[in-house]
Chains A and B, each alone.
Chain A
Amino acid sequence: MEPQLGLLELSVNNRYSIWVRERLNELPDSFTITDPSISGHPIVFASNGFLKMSGYEMEEVVGKNGRMFQGPKTDRRSVMEIREAIRQEKTMQISIVNYRRDGTPFWMLFCLCPVFGKEDGRVVHFVGVQVPITRKRRQSGGCNGVSYCEDRTGFRETVIGSCRREVCSDSVVELGRVLAMDSDSRELEVDEQCEASDLEKAKAKLAMNSILSVLAHYSESTGRLVCGKRCCLARTGLLGSSLTLSLGRIKQSFVLTDPHLPDMPIVYASDAFLKLTGYARHEVLGRNCRFLGGVDTNLSTILQIKESIQTEQACTVRILNYRKDKSLFWNVLHISPVRNASGKIAYYVGVQIDESCENHDKHGLSPEMRQRSAVGAVKVAVRSLSMVAGTSESQQQLPMNSILLD
C-alpha cells in the first residue's frame, strides 16, 4: 500500500534540495507538506512541531494521507471543504477536530496553501499548518475538559464567553445539553463547536508565510522555483493537478492523448505505462503514440485505430509494440473517446495490456475487465473535473494571502 520511500524523499529533495529539511525543522511550527502528484496524496514532510503535537514518529506519517488524523468527532462537512480546496488548488483555513496518536481528539486551526512550480504554474505541493486551539478559561486552575464542563452548567455567561457564536445562537442545543448534564457530565470539550481566535489565525498566517519563504528560497538552489501564487497561467496541453491526482490513482498502463493538439500527442502517461515501455515520462509526453510501433507492426492494425478515432468509436486491437530497449511485446490495446462535461470529446484514452504478462488470477478481475475499469475511471475523472473548472477558474487566481489576511 505504501508508496516507495524514495519517491517521497525525492519529492522534497528534487525541488528544495536535501538541505531544506534542516531549515524547515528550525521552524517551531506544526506543519506538513504533501505531494498531490503521488498516488494517495501522501505527506512527504512533517515538521518536528507536528510530530510533537500529534505524538507520531516521522516514519509513521510520511507516505500517509492527512485523513489518518481524522476520527468520529471530526466534522465531515469541514473535511469536505478541505477536499474541495485541494481539488480547486485554493488556500483555505478551517477549525477541525484531529486525533493524536494516543486517540485523544483536539481542536486545531488548519491552514492549507498550494505551492506552485514557477515553470508551468502547476501545484507541486500543499503546505498544511496546524495550530492547536486553546480555550480561554475564566476559572483559574481549570486545566482540563472536565472543569470546563462544570463551568458550563454553573454559569451560562461563561459558556457564551468561551464558546463563541455558534453556541450563542443556539439556545435550544445548549438547553438540551444543560438538561442532559446529569447523565453525561463528562462530555469531552471537543463536542463543542469551536472557532480559532484572531491570535491563532495570526499565528497560522505567520507560520505559513515563513514556510513558504523557506521553500521559495531553497527552490532557488535546485533551479526549480516555487511560489505561493500561480505565476504562470499558460498551461496548454497540461492537465491540472486535480486531474493528475485522480489519474494517478489508476494502476493500469494507459495514456491520454489530446485530439485537439497537432498530431494528437500524449498528455498523460501512467506509471504502469512507463514501466511497461521502459521510457521516462518526459520522453513520451508531447509525442504521438506511433513511436511504440516498429518495422514489424501491422499497418492494417494502425489503420483500424485511425478509423475508430475518426468515427469517434471505441476499439480493441492486438498490436505489436516496441519498448525503449527495442524488445517486442503484443499489446492488447483498448482505445476509447473520453468526453468532458460539455459532452465533447476531450481526450482519447489508450489502455495497454502486455499479452505475455496477463495473469489469470482466479480471484481477481480479468485483464479485459481491468482495462474497462481504467477507461471508466478516466471518464469519470475527466468529466467531473471539467464540470468544476468552469466555475472555479476565476476563484483559482486568488492571491495566496487573500484568505490568510482576513
Chain B
Amino acid sequence: MLRIKRVPTVVSNFQKEEGEEGARAGGGGGGCGRNCLQKCCIPGAKLPLYAFKRLNKISGEKDLLKPDDKEPPVAFLDSLLLGEWEDRAQKGLFRYDVTACETKVIPGECGFIAQLNEGRHLKKRPTEFRVDKVLQPFDGSKFNFTKVGQEEVLFQFEASEENEVQFFPNAPIDVENSPSVVAINVSPIEYGHVLLIPRILECLPQRIDRDSFLLALYMAAEAGNPYFRLGYNSLGAFATINHLHFQAYYLAVPFPIEKAPTRKITSFNGGVIISELLNYPVRGLVFEGGNTLDDLSNAVSDSCICLQENNIPYNVLIADSAKRIFLVPQCYAEKQALGEVNPELLDTQVNPAVWEISGHMVLKRKKDYEEASEANAWRLLAEVSLSEERFQEVKALIFETISCGDNGNPSVSELLLEEEPDDKPKSLEEGDALNKSSRHHAMVSGECLVLH
C-alpha cells in the first residue's frame, strides 16, 4: 500500500483533526447544534436555489442573443456567487483574507501565477493519505460535506423544471430531490473559491460520473466568464476529501495550461475535438467543441471513468466557460510515496493538484515565492507528468474506451500507438530525463502496476 503524509487543506470550519471527529454537541431536539446538512438539522432548513436552463446545443454565441432569451433574474457569477461569497467574508467565515495574499505573474513565456499563502496550512498536522487507490468507498466516519454548517453553503444548484433560469431566495432543502450545493472553501486560494458538491446527501465518493460532470459543466457555462474555472482532483491526485466535489474560483488571468499550444489528435463522435498539449511541462489532453454540451461532457467523463477504473490518478480543469476541458493524468503522489521526488521539490510542500498543474502555484514559504521562476515551476510540473511512453499508453487506453460505440472510424488508438515520438518538443524530452518512474510501469490488462 502506498501512502504519503501531507497537511490536509481545511475546507470547512467543521473539519476536525483526525480523531477529534465524533465530538458532537448534545444531539438534542434542535438538531446536533451545528446546523449541519444531516438528518438532524435539515428539516425546515432553507437555502437560495438557482435553477439553470438545460441547453440543447453548444452555441454559437448567437443563441445567447436570440430576442426570446430573457435576462436571467439573477446573474449567476457576478451577483449570486460573488455576493454570497463576499457576505461570508464579511461574516468572518474564512480562515484568512485571500485578497491580502500577495500574488504575481512570474516573468516568462508561460506566465505562471504565484501566490504567497502562509496561512493556508497552519494549525494542521500532516495526515497519511493512501495514494495507490483512485477509487475508495465513501466512509461516513471521516469528514464529509454533510457535516459542514449551513452558513458555509451558498446556494443549491440544479436544472430548471421550466425552460428558463429560475431563482428562489429561500427554497427548502428537498431531501428527496437530491440537491446539489455550492459551498465556500474556508481556505480559499482566490476570491470566490467554492466547492460544487453534486447530490450532497447521497454521499458519493470522489469519482466522476456522467451526470455530476455535466452538472459541473453547467456551472461553468452558467458563470459565463472565462476566468471562472472549475477543477477536479481524483484520489491519488491530491484530493483530500473522499466526498464527490469540484472546486471553482475566479481569477482573471489566463492560466499557462490554457496558453499552451495544442495539436489536434482526432475528432470524436458528436463533433468533440481532442488535442494534446504541446510545450507544456505536464502531458495532457484537451477536449473542445461538440455539437451539444452533453457530447463534450460525455467524451470527458467517459475518459475520466476509464482512468479511475484503471487506477490512474488525474486532474481536470474546466476552462473557458466549459468550452475547453483539460484532462491530465498524473503520477506525482505515487512517485512521492516511492521516494522518487527530488527532496528540494518536496520541501516546498506544494501539492500539485489541478490548480498547480494549470499554472497557478500556491506557495507556502516566502523564500519560494520570492525565488519563484518559470524554470522552478516547470521543474515541479515536469515531475507531475507521466513519461512520454506512459502517456502514450494511457492515451491509447482512453481512446480505446471512448471509441467503443463510435461507429465506423478506424480505431484511433491503433493509429496513435504507431506514432513516432520524434516530433516531440525538446523541453519535454528534458522532462523525460527527470521522469525516471516510467520504467516502473507495466500495462497488465489495463491495470497500472507499480513495480518496486
Q: Which residues of A contact B (CB under 8 A)?
A: 1, 64, 67-68, 70-73, 76-77, 79-80, 83-84, 99, 103, 169-170, 172-173, 175-176, 179-180, 183, 191, 193, 246, 249-250, 314, 338-339, 341-343, 361-366, 368-373, 375-377, 379-381, 383-385, 387-388, 390-391
CB pair B104–A390 under 8 Å, yes or no, is: yes
CB pair B191–A380 under 8 Å, yes or no, is: yes
* Interchain nearest-CB distance for B224 vs A (Å): 11
Which size class do B's interface residues fall under? 35 or more
CB pair B416–A383 under 8 Å, yes or no, is: no
B82 at interface by CB-CB < 8 Å: yes
* Interchain nearest-CB distance for A344 vs B (Å): 8
* C-alpha spacing A403/B191, complex, angstroms: 35
* Interchain nearest-CB distance for A64 vs B (Å): 7
* C-alpha spacing A391/B109, complex, angstroms: 11
* Interchain nearest-CB distance for A68 vs B (Å): 5
CB pair B252–A172 under 8 Å, yes or no, is: no
Residues of A within 8 A of B113 (CB): 387
Residue pairs across A and B with Cβ atoms less than 8 A apart, 24 shown, are A1-B71, A72-B289, A80-B258, A99-B60, A99-B62, A170-B423, A176-B266, A183-B409, A339-B100, A341-B103, A343-B102, A365-B167, A366-B169, A372-B83, A372-B84, A373-B79, A375-B86, A377-B82, A379-B86, A380-B252, A383-B191, A384-B227, A385-B252, A388-B105
* Interchain nearest-CB distance for B250 vs A (Å): 5
Main secondary structure of the interface of A (DSSP, over half): helix
* C-alpha spacing A80/B111, complex, angstroms: 14
* C-alpha spacing A314/B89, complex, angstroms: 11
8 further A-B pairs in the complex, CB-CB below 8 A; given A72-B290, A368-B87: A77-B258, A84-B254, A170-B263, A173-B263, A180-B409, A363-B169, A376-B86, A391-B105
* C-alpha spacing A199/B276, complex, angstroms: 31
* Interchain nearest-CB distance for B207 vs A (Å): 28
Residues of B within 8 A of A364 (CB): 73-74, 167, 169
B3 at interface by CB-CB < 8 Å: no
* C-alpha spacing A391/B254, complex, angstroms: 13
CB pair B83–A369 under 8 Å, yes or no, is: yes
* C-alpha spacing A342/B323, complex, angstroms: 31
Residues of A within 8 A of B373 (CB): none
* Interchain nearest-CB distance for A120 vs B (Å): 24
CB pair A72–B58 under 8 Å, yes or no, is: yes
* Interchain nearest-CB distance for B53 vs A (Å): 15
B177 at interface by CB-CB < 8 Å: no
CB pair A369–B84 under 8 Å, yes or no, is: yes
* C-alpha spacing A342/B105, complex, angstroms: 11
CB pair A173–B227 under 8 Å, yes or no, is: no
CB pair B65–A68 under 8 Å, yes or no, is: yes
Residues of B within 8 A of A339 (CB): 97, 99-100
- Contact of A72 (CB < 8 Å), options: B60, B166, B259: B60
Residues of B within 8 A of A376 (CB): 82-83, 85-86, 191-192
* Interchain nearest-CB distance for B362 vs A (Å): 14
- Contact of A363 (CB < 8 Å), options: B73, B290, B416: B73
Residues of B within 8 A of A170 (CB): 263-264, 423
Among residues of B, the one whose C-beta sits closest to the C-beta of A176 is: B415
If A80-B226, A377-B78 touch, whether A365 touches B289 (CB-CB below 8 Å) is no
Among residues of A, the one whose C-beta sits closest to the C-beta of B288 is: A76
Residues of B within 8 A of A179 (CB): 410, 415
- Contact of A183 (CB < 8 Å), options: B58, B78, B408: B408
* Interchain nearest-CB distance for A246 vs B (Å): 7
Residues of B within 8 A of A377 (CB): 78, 82
Residues of A within 8 A of B265 (CB): 172-173, 176
B350 at interface by CB-CB < 8 Å: no
CB pair A176–B412 under 8 Å, yes or no, is: yes
* C-alpha spacing A67/B408, complex, angstroms: 35
- Contact of A341 (CB < 8 Å), options: B102, B169, B291: B102
* Interchain nearest-CB distance for A375 vs B (Å): 5
Among residues of A, the one whose C-beta sits closest to the C-beta of B88 is: A372
* Interchain nearest-CB distance for A384 vs B (Å): 3
Residues of A within 8 A of B73 (CB): 361, 363-364
Residues of B within 8 A of A341 (CB): 102-104
CB pair B250–A71 under 8 Å, yes or no, is: no
If A72-B289, A77-B262, A363-B168 touch, whether A384 touches B252 (CB-CB below 8 Å) is yes
Residues of A within 8 A of B59 (CB): 71
If A70-B61, A76-B288, A372-B90 touch, whether A388 touches B80 (CB-CB below 8 Å) is no
* Interchain nearest-CB distance for B87 vs A (Å): 5
CB interface residues, B 168-219, toward A, < 8 Å: 168-169, 191-192
Among residues of B, the one whose C-beta sits closest to the C-beta of A368 is: B87
* C-alpha spacing A368/B91, complex, angstroms: 13
* C-alpha spacing A72/B259, complex, angstroms: 19
B419 at interface by CB-CB < 8 Å: yes
B101 at interface by CB-CB < 8 Å: yes
* Interchain nearest-CB distance for B12 vs A (Å): 21
Among residues of A, the one whose C-beta sits closest to the C-beta of B261 is: A77
CB pair B79–A365 under 8 Å, yes or no, is: yes
